[in-house]
Copies of this chain bind each other. A is one copy, B any other.
């Protein structure tokens, strides 16, 4: 996004940071980021990475696959409130808030890298400009939840679903995973139901409607958008809330 292309830009960490920062990273800053000691871990589908109530001493970044933030009702009903793609650091908040108010789990298979809080704190002390970038990343995550809130509160199932697909295609596009507005989409229908606040059965019918409207194809975990403008219109989608430098990266 910003700056010139070094080969290290392939690193999701750096890619994400550069897409958010309001300045170009110095070589030192980039090197320090890449030097963070990571404990890479592979998760299977539908495993929790961290859980509500945890008091983590580390946070993690997604390298491959998709994770989701969710909360559950005492009655066991689940609400997904964000998806996390390569480069995202979903629980930076644990740096400042001791106990987690959310759980983060995988959707499909997922590779993540854990970093000790101490290492992050040392990095931020050494490179204060990165602190601002983390702020921005966190605030953008919060903005996304707010847009989801508007979505669940004030749009019908059809528009909600369309909105989710729009966001996904855009965000995966940022990290190069949605060429031609088509992407891998590991979520099964009950999973989408939890994200949209509707039932699995209704997810099915809504997807059918979107297909019949000629907006998308969805088969074998692959989403293809046929009519981007139509999908955006159905969703009333405006990417402003994503705070992107390039609002249409696919």
Contacts and interface: CB of A to CB of B under 8 A. Distances in A.
Nearest to A132: B96
> What copy number does this chain have within its complex?
2
B150 A79 contact: yes
B146 A102 contact: yes
17 contacts: A72-B150, A74-B238, A77-B154, A78-B154, A79-B154, A95-B135, A96-B132, A96-B139, A97-B243, A99-B240, A101-B147, A101-B243, A138-B139, A145-B145, A145-B146, A149-B152, A152-B153
Contacts of A184: none
B240 A79 contact: no
A113 interface: no
Given A101-B146, A140-B97, A236 B75 contact: yes
Contact of A96 (B136, B153, B155, B238): B136
Contacts of A12: none
A130 to B, nearest CB: 13
Nearest to A240: B101
A113 B78 CA distance: 39
